[in-house]
Amino acid sequence: MTTQSVDVLYVAVATAENGRDGRVASDDGKLDVVVNTPKELGGSGAGTNPEQLFAAGYSACFQSALGVVARQTGTSVAGSLVTAKVGIGKTPDGGLGLDVKLLVSIPDVDPGTAKDLVEKAHQVCPYSNATRGNIAVELILV
């Protein structure tokens, strides 16, 4: 697999302190959150966690990609929603890995067109491009 070349237009900067039991903040101060290991993984669950942050970013990015491909085809995706479910678990080699399910709702669009839009969005979404071939990403129309 080749590495994708990118003409960078924007750089986000965030710094973590104390890993899963600390704090994450962006350099511009717009993001500043306490992070804690989820209870399901033996932590306190008091703060957010990297999986929730990844789910938030992926769902927002995919929603935007959906809008781009919809505009290209002249289809309205008004009222659409994208929910990302990001799971973390053990891999066969004993490490940890992620699993993603993207639940996409596009009201007032026939199922065939909706499926086509979701598949096209999956091809242009930067998160999808970053994860492709690395983790399982399931696209689910709801």
Domains and CATH numbers, the chain: 1-48 (2.20.25.10), 49-141 (3.30.300.20)
pTM (two decimals): 0.94
Model confidence over 27-84: pLDDT tens digits? 999 999 999 999 999 999 999 999 999 999 999 999 999 999 999 999 999 999 999 9
Distances 73 to 15, 61, 78, 103 between C-alpha atoms, Å: 39, 19, 14, 21
Rounded Cα distance, 105 and 125, in Å: 17
pLDDT digits (tens, 9 = 90+) for 45-55: 999 999 999 99
